[in-house]
Every structure is written in structure tokens, then in C-alpha cells.
Chain A
Amino acid sequence: MKKRVLSFLTAAVMTTAMILSGCSGAQTAATTAAPAATETKAETTAAKTEAPTTTAAAAEKKEIVVGFSQVGAESDWRTANTQSMKTTFTEANGYKLIFDDAQQKQENQLKAVRNFIQQDVDYIVIAPVTETGWDTVLQEAKDAGIPVIIVDRMINVSDDSLYTAWVGSNFLQEGYDAVAWLDDYLKKNNKADSDINIVTLQGTIGSSAQIGRTNGVEEKMKDHPKWKMLERQTGEFTQAKGQEVMESFLKTYKDINVVIAENDNMAFGAIDAIKAAGKTCGPKGDITIISFDAVAAAFDSMIAGDMNVSVECNPLHGPRVAEIIQKLEKGEKVDKIAYVKEGVFPADTAAAEKPKRQY
């Protein structure tokens, strides 16, 4: 029996050893890579203005530790968002990134943030799974004096001072951009003075993307008395629902000139519906398609000549977050709300832009 006990124990020790050697192996790899990075880092820190700090603090400043808790990997957009963080917060840029995938679970994010605090990170970046439930853990971060930057979704907390800044898309601006593009497009095609009939496929009602885009378009349309919004209806951000709603629009209205789809998937559905009804769309067709998000498939659709334009919803938050961190490092004030730069991609540039796209 003693033998058996012994064999159990050795097995136990071996399994733990296996697990740990896995961790420690990666650990040493990380530390050996560090010296190579310090040289490049030296340049960036030297370029920085001299802050009145003690030598000890200066030595620590060399590497800024950032803990990032990501929602998961549910979409291409999300993956691009993660990649942006990983490529921005590299050791070569003077950062050390601690990345945690929450697997779509809020409770995992809470655990991750608590661990970040204990690891004494310099900054905590959260792409929240949910808007709520952040009060306690962010209070813990505040008590520890660690600035928190929220990306993508907004959070709902009782006290705004619990986070330092928010980085994300300006959906209202995306709406403005869509109208500005349409105005330009009509002028180019000598239709500036003709009546334009528009229908909108809205996103899931109440989502921040839907509210921003709908309001943005509505606000700017007031400047164009000749444009008429025939109807708005939700397609819930899905291709199937977008197609269904577009079919009913086509039955009701005979003279639709422009379709605004609040994301690319609904635009694809609308294009299918238009083609099935025997009409044409795209730059050479009867109906102009305006879409949002500018995912890879939208570029394919534009190259194929179906879609006219897609307004970008940029997932590349990394550089903007880094900008904020650099400002905070210098002791400067930062804006509570920071938008990422977002472009407008019309069909004629699609073929040239596609290879440059990261998502």
C-alpha cells in the first residue's frame, strides 16, 4: 500500500510540475526577450519630456504594464480589436501587456481585474462584456490608484470618476459621414436638385450603434429638404431580417432611391432582396446602398458592384488607448471620451483599400 501511496504522490507532483513548467517556460522566454526591447524603449523614454520623478520611479517607468480584459473572440471585429491591442502594447513600444480573455463572462472579467490590481499593473483596460456590475471592482482599482480605461462598450456606474477615459466609436459621427457622402455623391451625379427617397434598415433598437447612426442621419438630413425618409424599420443587425424588411419596403414603395443599412449584414440582405425583385443596385444600378461597419465582406460586395459605400466602425483601439496612457504618464489631463478615427469607404476605392484592411 505504501508503494501505491507513493505512486499517487509522485503522479500528483508530476502533474503540477507539468503545469508549472509550462508557465515558467513562457516566463523565462518573456524575461529574456525584455533586454532586447529596452534599447528601442530607451529612445522613446528619452524623447519624453523630463517629468520631476525620483530615480526609482524613472527606472520603473521604463516598462508600462497594461492589463487588458477582453470580452472574448466572438467576431472578426473583436479579433481585430484584440490584435490592435496586442500589436500596440508590445515590449518594443515600452509596454508589457497582460491579456485576459473573459470568454463572454462578466464574472471572469471581475476576477481578471482583481488579479490585475494585485499584480500592480500601471493601467487597466477593459472591453466590458456587460454595461453593469462594475461598481465594486472599479472602486477597488480606484483605491489602488490604478487608472481604468474602458474601450468599445460604455459602462454604467454610479460614479463617473471610477474610470479615467472611454475609447470607442462615434456612432453619431458615422451617421453624419453617411449623409455627407450621399450629398457629395448626388452632386457628382448631377442629382443634387432631384427628389430622393430613402429607407433605413435600423439595427437592434436601443443598441448604441443604432441610436447613434439613426440620430446622426436624421439630424443632418434636416439640411436637405429634397430628401425624404419613407420609412425606418429594424432589421436587428442580421442578414435574414434585413432581407425580409427590404422585401416589404420594395412592395410598399415603388421609387426607392437610397437604402441606408445600419450594418453590413443587413445591407447584404437588402441587396439580395433588391436583386430578387428584379431591380439593380450599386454604383451602376438604380438603388444606392449605404452601409456601416466596413467589414471585409463589405469590400467584396463593393468590388462586385453591389454596394456604394460603407462607413467604418473602427476596431483598432490600441493606438488611441496608447495615446491616452502616454498623456497620463506625462501627468496631462485626458478627455473622458475619446473617439477612434473612422473612415468612409466608397466603392471606387474598395479594390485599392482591401489589401490594406486588417479585419
Chain B
Amino acid sequence: MKKREKIDGKVFLLIITIVLFLVMYAAGLIIFKSKGFAKPQVFLNLFISNAGLIVIAAGMTMVMITGGIDISVGSIVALTCMMLAWMMEIKGMGAVPALLIVMIMGIVFGLVQGFFIAYLKLQPFIVTLAGMFFARGMTAIISQEMISIKNEMFLKWAKSKINLTFLGGTVNKKGMVNYSFIYPSVIIALIVLVCIFVLLKFTKFGRTIYAVGGNEQSALMMGLNVRRTKLLVYVINGFLCSLGGFLFALNTCAGFVEQAKGFEMEAIASAVIGGTLLTGGVGNVFGSLFGVLIKGTIETFITFQGTLSSWWTKITIAALLAFFIILQSLFAKAKEKH
């Protein structure tokens, strides 16, 4: 019993997630050994393909720790991509000013939603539901056609491969030597992740976020500024949404109204699998990172397997979500007993 005090529930949920990821990846190494699953690039691709989602999931985790939720993120990603594409291709703007404008757009979006939630005490779900429809609608208003990004500077950012030669190269069937590589988007995503981690764990603001989510009443009585904290969380989340949208655009190089549909649910699922409680007060951005990686690994399994329908990804995620929610409720019950 004494041992249990040391490994508390939060850490326990995180450990389960990490162990699950490692077990899955190890299983992949065994099952798909002959198909090249062991290449470092397979692992790096998880980051390349999900750089945007990693950033969005970090923001979502923060929001969920306050006990809130944000379902507008997918639409904001689509709006960001569309605005970038429209400003650069139709209006002929440079990549840097376009990027600055979408960042401001994200912050303003977060500010408005945060104001409604924190100061007018509206339900986060309803506020962000409205935000979701608004952003998706605006995306379609800008253009219903897909806009392809051809801005030279933007494409340079998107295409600049960073070869990780120290990981060694592999020679494939065609006799080509391939080095492992990442794109700058991966580095940005990881930097954001570390920043949010530090913010949550080592600053007063971060601890206030946990306190607000754990118990709003007692946080208020402790003299913490609950409203301002919540507002700031939504503002930061808005910024992360447009940043995530930018990383998403680096990968897809296009603005399109159908983009990133259901992205918000993927972010929520990643956070939950990573040990964030929907009731607030508990969560860790690294857990969410592993949530994203688990999703990516399942997708990789499906393509490596080659004959299964890709919809199995969704079914497996559903099973994992159910598993983690049950785990969380058991954990909450155990906590009550003490």
C-alpha cells in the first residue's frame, strides 16, 4: 500500500499508455520484420504524418485539464490551411505575412471562444460547436474549390528534408540508398510539446490550470484567477490550432474545405488514451504524444498488413478508448475510497 502512494494514478495511466505503445511497436517489429517495419524511418514517419496532430493534441490536453473541451480544432485547421493557400495563391502574399495572419486568426478565435466560456460561463462544448461550424463555413466561403499551394518559400519549407545520416542508410530493392529523414515540421511539433510540458509542470500558471480543473470552487477560494486562467488556456489553444494547421498545410500543401474533418475527435482520443481525464485536473502532454503515436502505429499496421480495411483503425481506437475510460473510472473509484 505504501508503494502505491509513490506511483500515483496519473503516472500509472501514463505508464500504461507508454507500455501499450512499446508493446504494439515491438509486436510490429516481430510480425512485419520481413516487410521493413524495423527501419527507423517507419518510426519517424509517425511524426512526419502526425506533426500537426501532435501540436493540436497538446493544446487539447491543456483545455481538457481545465475540465473543458474544444471541438472546433479540426475546422480551425481547415480554415488555417485555406487562408494560407488563399492568401498566398489568390492574393499573392508572401509566406511569412500569410503565416503571421493565420497565427493572429488562431489567437483571436481562441480569445473569443475563451471569453464566452470563461466570462459568460457558457458550456465549452456548445461554444466550440458554434466555433466548429463557423470556421468550416468560413473555409467554404473563402473557396469551395481546392487551392494548391505553389508559393516557392512555402514549398521550400515543406520540402526541406533533414537527413539523419547518423541513423545510417538502408539500401532498398532498387539499389537506392535511403537515409532516415524528418521535416522541419517535426522539430516544430516537438519544441511545442516541450514548451507546453514545461508550462504545465514548472510554472505557476501551469499549476493553476491543474487546480482549476481539479476543483474550480477550491481554486477560486484559494484566490486563483479562474476566469483569466481559462481564457488564457483557450487563447494558447487557439494559437496552437493555427500552428498545427500550418504544420498540417506543410504536409498537404493545399487548402480544401473537406480537410481535417474529424481531427478534433482524433485529438480528444489521443489525449484520453494518453491519460487525460475528461473531468479535468489530470493530464500530461507526453501522454497525448503517445496517444498520437499509438494511433499512427495502428494505421501503419493496417497498411503493412495490406489486406485489412483501413476502417479497422477506427475500430481499434474505439476499443482502446473504451479500455482507457474504464481504466480511468476504476482509478477514480480507487481514489474515492481513500
Contacts and interface: CB of A to CB of B under 8 A. Distances in A.
B141 interface: no
Contact of A135 (B36, B158, B256, B327): B158
A131 B172 contact: no
Contact of B305 (A8, A26, A122): A26
B49 to A, nearest CB: 5
Interface string B161-198: 00000000000111110100001000000000000000
B42 A145 contact: no
Contact of B148 (A9, A11, A133, A144): A133
Contact of B146 (A12, A114, A120, A130): A130
Nearest to B19: A12
Interface of B: 1, 4, 12, 16, 19-20, 23-24, 27, 31, 35-37, 39, 41-42, 45, 48-49, 146-150, 155, 158-159, 172-176, 178, 183, 248, 251-254, 256, 258-261, 296, 298-311, 316, 319-320, 323, 327, 330, 334
B173 A111 contact: no
Contacts of B147: 132
A238 interface: no
A19 interface: yes
A1 B20 CA distance: 20
A63 to B, nearest CB: 11
A98 B4 CA distance: 47
A135 B253 contact: yes
Contacts of A1: 1, 4, 334
Given A100-B310, A158-B150, A136 B159 contact: yes
A12 B39 contact: no
A99 interface: yes
A106 B311 CA distance: 15
Contacts, number: 157
Interface in A19-72: 19-20, 22-24, 26-27, 30, 60, 67
Contacts of B248: 107
Given A100-B310, A131-B146, A115 B253 contact: no
A115 B31 contact: no
A120 B310 contact: no
A50 to B, nearest CB: 20
A292 B16 CA distance: 57
Given A15-B323, A106-B259, A107-B248, 13 more contacts: A8-B327, A8-B330, A105-B261, A106-B252, A110-B251, A112-B310, A119-B303, A131-B146, A132-B146, A133-B252, A136-B253, A143-B178, A158-B155
A13 interface: yes
Say whether chain B's binding surface is mostly helix, strand, loop, or mixed: helix
Given A131-B146, A136-B158, A12 B323 contact: yes
A111 B305 contact: no
Given A8-B327, A118-B45, A103 B176 contact: no
Contact of A23 (B159, B173, B301, B327): B301
Given A12-B323, A103-B310, A111 B49 contact: yes
A139 interface: yes
A145 B175 contact: yes
A102 to B, nearest CB: 7
B12 to A, nearest CB: 8
Contact of A144 (B42, B48, B178): B178
Contact of A136 (B35, B251, B304): B251
Contact of A114 (B48, B149, B176): B48
Interface residues of A, number: 56
Closest 9 CB pairs of A and B: A132-B148, A145-B174, A98-B306, A115-B303, A145-B176, A133-B253, A133-B254, A132-B254, A133-B252
A101 B159 contact: no
Given A15-B323, A130-B256, A143-B176, A119 B4 contact: no
A176 interface: no
Interface in A88-133: 96-108, 110-112, 114-116, 118-120, 122, 130-133
A145 B260 CA distance: 30
B123 to A, nearest CB: 30
Contacts of B330: 4, 8
24 contacts: A11-B323, A12-B16, A16-B27, A22-B308, A23-B305, A26-B307, A26-B308, A27-B31, A98-B306, A98-B307, A101-B311, A105-B258, A106-B256, A107-B251, A110-B49, A111-B299, A114-B45, A115-B299, A115-B300, A118-B36, A118-B37, A136-B253, A145-B175, A145-B176
A144 B173 CA distance: 9
Interface in A150-203: 156, 158
A99 B323 contact: no
Given A16-B27, A133-B252, A119 B304 contact: yes
Contacts of B172: 120, 144-145
A274 interface: no
B253 A24 contact: no
A146 interface: yes
A96 B35 CA distance: 13
Kindly name the residue among A16, A60, A96, A131 whose own CB sees the greatest number of chain B CB atoms within 10 A: A16
A97 B303 CA distance: 11
A1 B258 CA distance: 48
B49 A107 contact: yes
B178 A13 contact: no
A115 B304 contact: yes
Given A16-B27, A120-B36, A114 B49 contact: yes
